[in-house]
Amino acid sequence: MYKSVETILVDIPTIRPHKLSVTTMQTQTLVLIKIITEDGIVGWGEATTIGGLNYGEESPESVKANIDTYFKPLLLSIKAPLNVAQTLKLIRKSINGNRFAKCAIQTALLEIQAKRLNVPVSELLGGRIRDRLPVLWTLASGDTDKDIAEAKKMIELKRHNTFKLKIGSNPLQHDVDHVIAIKKALGPEISVRVDVNRAWSELECVKGIQQLQDGGIDLIEQPCAIENTDALARLTARFDVDIMADEVLTGPDSAYRIAKKSGADVFAVKVEQSGGLIEACEVAKIARLAGISLYGGTMLEGPVGSIASAHAFSTFETLEFGTELFGPLLLTQSILKTPLQYENFELVVPNTPGLGIEVDEDKLEQLRRH
Ligand code: MUC
Ligand code: MG
């Protein structure tokens, strides 16, 4: 069935330092999975994370070790033809946790099946509703004037007209003033959101969110600790401005628990955090049933993970807050033969079989970690 399963780590410098509350990134390590079937079909997947273990529970190195040690022998041991669902069930039975690794493997399996059937991956997820996805840009240089200049340049280039600001690493009032100054400079037409990446206590949230709401900010992402789902629900009930769950969403189970207690206005759906494209669609379905709005999130993946996410998000019934699938644009090097198509503030979802991208393997060979 499967001839080879390979995990490739690729370190690529970012176009500028990317400052989050949990780390400042100067480089992104792409974690790519390449699976080849015995009849020669190639499927790609990605399990990239942010800042080693600063953000998530899996690091690039742990994903590689776990895939090489556990996932790979399991996949290579399959002798009878199993479909994707049967293969995923076998993986779930044998391997606990490891959502990012599972997502990468599932993406590659879906790409193989989609290529076999000659359809885009989105078709295997029920079919796309849209061919293009709005993509915002994250301003995270840490400097107010630089961020304003960067935002204005993006609007002029018709690349992005919605911005998310990464805050939480400075004292609260400093961060709030930074955000309000950027919002004022960009004007009422431009949507400005913040991602606190869980840096604030509940009391700080009350103080900070009130000012951000008064200053015209549209969306407050994961302001408090992952464990504190009660605080997130209280903030959701307290404020008019929309509160978005991000890190707290670790797949359909957590989505169900948060939805049940009206714990957020919006879900940031991420394919890796969900444990796969199929599970991301389940998270979206739970949100829809609970009246929660949707946003397509990123783990700052390169083009493989970003386009896999795009296939999943293209199938969502609604996508009220757009997406942040800008990961490849943060990198100084492309690993595709033809880069992803970003135009008119949107990302185009390819319509060709599989993920619809062609990895430049020569480039990968030059860049990969040995
Ligand atoms: C996050 O928490 O949303 C997404 C955009 C970005 O700049 O960082 C990521 C992580
Ligand atoms: Mg976030």
Q: Is residue 353 part of a domain?
A: no
Q: How many domains does the chain have?
A: 2
pLDDT at 144: 96
Strand order in the sheet with 2-19: 2-19, 24-37, 42-46
Query: Cα–Cα distance between 118 and 123 in angstroms, integer?
Result: 10
For residues 70 and 165, membership in a common domain is answered with no
- Ligand 1 contacts CB of residue 297 (under 6 A): yes
pLDDT at 140: 92
Query: Cα–Cα distance between 193 and 253 in angstroms, integer?
Result: 27
Distance 95 CA to ligand 2 centre (A): 27
For residues 180 and 48, membership in a common domain is answered with no
For residues 110 and 203, membership in a common domain is answered with no
Q: Is residue 84 part of a domain?
A: yes
pLDDT at 104: 99
Residue 232 near residue 245, CB atoms below 8 Å: yes
Token pair for residue 263?
Answer: 């714990």
User: Consecutive sets of 10 residues in the chain, 370 residues long: mean pLDDT of each?
Assistant: 97 96 96 98 98 96 98 97 97 98 99 98 98 97 94 98 97 98 98 98 98 98 98 98 98 98 98 99 98 98 99 98 98 98 98 98 96
CA distances from 233 to 30, 240, 321 (A): 34, 13, 19
If one counts every other C-beta atom within 10 angstroms of the C-beta of residue 239, the result is 17
Q: In sequence order, which residues have a C-beta less than 8 Å from that of residue 264 and are 6 or more positions away?
A: 232, 233, 236, 243, 244, 245, 248, 258, 292
Output the domain CATH number for residue 24: 3.30.390.10
337 noted as active-site residue: no
Instruction: Please report where in the chains the tokens 């004292």 appear, as a residue.
Output: 171
For residues 168 and 72, membership in a common domain is answered with no
Q: Is residue 138 part of a domain?
A: yes
- State the catalytic residue, choosing from 34, 72, 164, 166: 166
- Ligand 1 contacts CB of residue 197 (under 6 A): yes
For residues 60 and 152, membership in a common domain is answered with no
pLDDT at 142: 83
For residues 158 and 282, membership in a common domain is answered with yes
For residues 16 and 117, membership in a common domain is answered with yes
pLDDT at 266: 99
For residues 99 and 164, membership in a common domain is answered with no
Query: Cα–Cα distance between 233 and 188 in angstroms, integer?
Result: 28
Range of the domain at 262: 124-348
Q: Is residue 304 part of a domain?
A: yes
- Ligand 1 contacts CB of residue 301 (under 6 A): no
For residues 42 and 27, membership in a common domain is answered with yes
Residue nearest to atom 7 of ligand 1 (CA): 138
Output the domain CATH number for residue 162: 3.20.20.120
DSSP state of 350: P
For residues 118 and 147, membership in a common domain is answered with no
For residues 65 and 133, membership in a common domain is answered with no
Q: Is residue 268 part of a domain?
A: yes
Q: Is residue 354 part of a domain?
A: no
Q: Is 92 left (phi over 0), alpha (psi -120 to 50) or beta?
A: alpha
Q: Is residue 177 part of a domain?
A: yes
Q: Is residue 112 part of a domain?
A: yes
For residues 89 and 137, membership in a common domain is answered with no
